[in-house]
Amino acid sequence: MQFATLVPAYKTQYMVELLNALRCQTVRPDLIIVSDDSPHGTFRELMQSTPYLPLTAGLPIEYAEGPRRGAYENFKHLVKLWAGRSDYVHVMLDDDLIYPDFYERHRRAHASGHFSCSVSRRWSASESGQPTSSQTLPAALADSPRRMASLADDVIFLTAVARCHNWLGEFSNAVFRADCVDLLLEPRMGGVSYAGLWDLGAFVAAAMRRPICHIQDHLGSFRISPGQNSSKLNSPIMKGAHLGYVALAVGGRRSGRLADGLLRQCCELLQPALSVRYGADPEMSAFCALLPELAQGLPAAEDRFVDTWHAFLRDHEM
C-alpha cells in the first residue's frame, strides 16, 4: 500500500512546519512531489538550500516547476506528474498541518474496506498552528462511538450540500484511492462545474463511486491566516465558494442523486447570506435574483443559473 503526497507549493513561510510534519510521520509517504508555483522558483530554491538539508534528508522528494496559473491548475499539474505511481494520493497544501500518525491512520482506514477516499477531522488553527476550533459534524456522526464511519454520497448531499455546510474539510485532510484521483482533473458533476468548492465537490464525486471513510479523530489542522482566500470575501474564489453549493446541488439533481426539494433547500439557506454579503455587488446581482427563483422551483431558473455560473467561471479563469 503505497502513498504519494502532492504539494502545490507557493507559501515559503510555513516550510519548516511542512517538512517536519512529513518527517515525523509514523509511516512516511513513499513519494513526495513538490510543484513550485512561487514567483521565480523561490520555494524550490529555499527547500534545496543548505539550512533545509537536514529536514529534507531521507524524504523521497521530487521537484517540478508549477504552471503558475492558479492553485487548482497546480493541483492538476501534480496529478499528471504523479501519473498513477502509488495506490493512494494525498494533496498536502503548504500551509496546513498533519499530525504524526496521519498516514498510519489513513492507511488503516483504507485497509478496513474498499473506499474512494478517507477523510479525517481537522482543527482550525491560528497562523502559528495553535488549534482554535473544530468542525461541526452532523449530529449522528458526532454522537457515534465508532472511530471510523462509512458514508455514501446521499449522506454527504443531505448533510453538506443541501445545508451549505462543508463539515468534511479540505484536501489536506483527505487521502484518495488511485482510481479516484482523476476526479481532481475535471471538477464537474451532471455537466455543472463545481469550481470554487473543489474539495467538497471532489468528496461528493468520490462518494458517488463508492463510500468514503470518515475518520473521527483530528489528524491535522487547517491554518487560518490573513493571506488566505477565505479572508478575502470579495475575491472571485470566495464568491465561487458561496455559489459552489448551488452548483453542486444542481449537478447532484441533474445526476439523479439529489431531490428537487433539497436543491430548493440549499438555495433558501444560501440566499440571505448571498444578499447580505454581495447584494450591492453588480457581478453578483444576477445570482442574488436567481436564488429565490431556484428556491421556488421556477421553470428555466436552473438553466439560467448554470449559464450565468459558467460565464462567471470563464471570466475569472476558474
pLDDT, one tens digit for every residue, the chain (318 residues)? 899 999 999 999 999 999 999 999 999 999 999 999 998 889 999 999 999 999 999 999 999 999 999 889 999 999 999 999 999 999 999 999 999 999 999 999 999 999 999 999 999 999 888 999 998 999 999 999 999 999 999 999 999 999 999 999 999 999 999 999 999 999 999 999 999 999 999 999 999 999 999 999 999 999 987 766 666 778 899 999 999 999 999 999 999 999 989 999 999 999 999 999 999 999 999 999 999 999 999 989 999 999 999 999 999 988
> Is position 194 within any domain?
no
User: What is the length of the chain?
Assistant: 318
> Is position 283 within any domain?
yes
pLDDT digits (tens, 9 = 90+) for 163-193: 999 999 999 999 999 999 999 999 999 999 9
How many Å apart are CA 312 and CA 55, to the nearest integer?
42
> Is position 62 within any domain?
yes
Domain boundary among 71, 94, 117: 94
Furthest C-alpha separation in the chain? 63
- Helix/strand/coil (H, E, C) string of 291-311? HHHHHHCCCCHHHHHHHHHHH
> Is position 51 within any domain?
yes
> Is position 287 within any domain?
yes
CATH number for position 49: 3.90.550.10
Q: Which domain holds residue 67?
A: 1-94
pLDDT digits (tens, 9 = 90+) for 39-81: 888 999 999 999 999 999 999 999 999 999 988 999 999 999 9
Q: What is the pLDDT of residue 85?
A: 97
pTM: 0.94
Q: What is the pLDDT of residue 129?
A: 85
Domain boundary among 53, 78, 94: 94
Q: What is the pLDDT of residue 228?
A: 66
Domain boundary among 94, 126, 152: 94
Cβ burial 259-293 (10 Å sphere, 16+ → b, else e): eeebbbbbbbbbbeebbebbeeeeebebbbebbeb
> Is position 138 within any domain?
no
Structural domain tally of the chain?
A: 2
How many Å apart are CA 270 and CA 249, to the nearest integer?
12
- Determine contact, residues 179/86, Cβ cutoff 8 Å: no
How many Å apart are CA 270 and CA 264, to the nearest integer?
10
- Strand-pair category, 192-193 with 188-189: antiparallel
Q: What is the pLDDT of residue 233?
A: 78
How many Å apart are CA 262 and CA 240, to the nearest integer?
20
> Is position 54 within any domain?
yes
> Is position 257 within any domain?
yes
How many Å apart are CA 244 and CA 249, to the nearest integer?
8
Cβ burial 175-184 (10 Å sphere, 16+ → b, else e): bbbeebbebb
Q: What is the pLDDT of residue 227?
A: 66
- Locate 50 and state its grid cell: 543548505
Q: What is the pLDDT of residue 225?
A: 75
